[in-house]
Amino acid sequence: VENLVVDKEFWLGKRVLVTGHTGFKGGWLVLLLHELGAEVHGLALEDAPPFGIYAQGRISNLLISEHFVDICDLKTTQKIFKEVQPEIVFHLAAESLVGRSYGDPYQTFLTNVMGTLNVIKSCQELRFKVALVVVTSDKCYENQELGRPFAETDSMGGFDPYSASKGCAEIVSRSMAHALSEKEELRIVTARSGNVFGGGDWNEGRLIPDLFRALRAENSLLLRHPDSIRPWQFVLDPLKGYLMLAKYAFEVKGHKFGAFNFGPRITDQINVLELATLFKLRIPSLNFRVDVDAAGTFHEQGILRLNSEKAFNYLGWRPKLTMEQSVNLTCEWYIALMHEQSLLGGIISKQVSEYLDMKYDAT
Ligand SMILES: NC(=O)c1ccc[n+]([C@@H]2O[C@H](COP(=O)([O-])OP(=O)(O)OC[C@H]3O[C@@H](n4cnc5c(N)ncnc54)[C@H](O)[C@@H]3O)[C@@H](O)[C@H]2O)c1
């Protein structure tokens, strides 16, 4: 049965820690949690871009406490967890870019694997019931490009360092959950979602931020992999899934571990050129050109699709927005940033509250 709304009663007053709150998805997650009445704390690096969601959404003001800590530093991470005493932890802090993972594979594995292990250990030592949502990626799967959507039972893998580190984070999470004693009340779930877009992302090497960066520089973006299919989705859709997953892990008796995909409808799993074209239809001054011969800076997967039936069957989750609605909401954000920045705060609040009220129900 589909849950049409996020359970506001559950979240009211819950002590929640978000790692990676200065990032794109972390910022939006804090906005959702704050709107739901949770007591939200943040832990991340102090690396937010000036025009991103953290700065423009004034995320800092929404937090009960904020900690600029490297998750590779176990002692300090443990100290913060003991201070905050979270009941729910969303672990999003990561090296999140394939391109940067080639530049520094060692640091990528340190942050994404050892950092995840440190977060799990910090939760474990709290010795009360904690639900931990470890956010990995659709790229955690061994991808043989068969074209079939991945299910949670498929093998972990990853060729580039980012994908491999996310596959490792999955294996570490499952094994740590398996090694918990009967008395330990930590519940670990992993969330694998696809390529997410929405307002306030400026990460390099991602299609939508790159398109808007090119627009600001009055350039045309070079599309090297126009045929690559990705499970694109609006940022609030998978985040809603993470909220439902955390509640599920917290409430289901004896739960130790589970992995869940959160992807768009199969019909919305489109290629790079199709998505860029949808944005250009909305904002004609966005420019791009295709040059497949320029490809080959580093290996990228061609086809990546997700099967999200498990999230629907267990949680009642499915994406709410059509691709057109997702593109419109994203464009609304960037247009305001470029032309009428004073409206941005209102647009962010409206997008969050209307999303939670299901004003955009595509089903
Ligand atoms: N955006 C996407 O399309 C997408 C898709 C699949 C999975 N993911 C995953 O979702 C999560 C969030 O992604 P995002 O797009 O918001 O990434 P982002 O790069 O915008 O944010 C990353 C966050 O992690 C923090 N961080 C990085 N290294 C850290 C460290 N050593 N110690 C503490 N904090 C650290 C940063 O400060 C930032 O807050 C990541 O785990 C990413 O791998 C993202």
C-alpha 190 to ligand 1 mean position (Å): 15
Give the position, in ligand 1's atom list, of the atom nearest the Cα of 201: 20
Whether the model pTM is above 0.85: yes
Cβ-contact 115, 271 below 8 angstroms: no
**Residue 267 pLDDT:** 79
pLDDT at 147 > cutoff 90? no
User: Between 42 and 358, where is the model more confident?
Assistant: 42
Per-residue pLDDT tens for 155-182? 999 999 999 999 999 999 999 999 999 8
Q: Would strands 15-19 and 39-44 be described as parallel, antiparallel, or unpaired?
A: parallel
The per-residue pLDDT for range 204-254, each reduced to its tens digit, is 999 999 999 999 999 999 998 899 888 899 999 999 999 999 999 999 887
Q: What is the pLDDT of residue 33?
A: 98
Q: Is the pLDDT of residue 354 over 90?
A: yes
Distance 110 CA to ligand 1 centre (A): 14
User: For a substitution probing ligand 1, which of 60, 92, 107, 150 has the most ligand atoms within 8 Å of its CB?
Assistant: 92
Residue 112 alpha carbon, nearest atom of ligand 1: 41
Average pLDDT, the chain: 93
258 and 315 Cβ atoms separated by less than 8 Å: no
Distance, in Å, from the CA atom of 349 to the CA atom of 354, rounded to the nearest integer, reads 8
Which two tokens mark 107? 């640091």
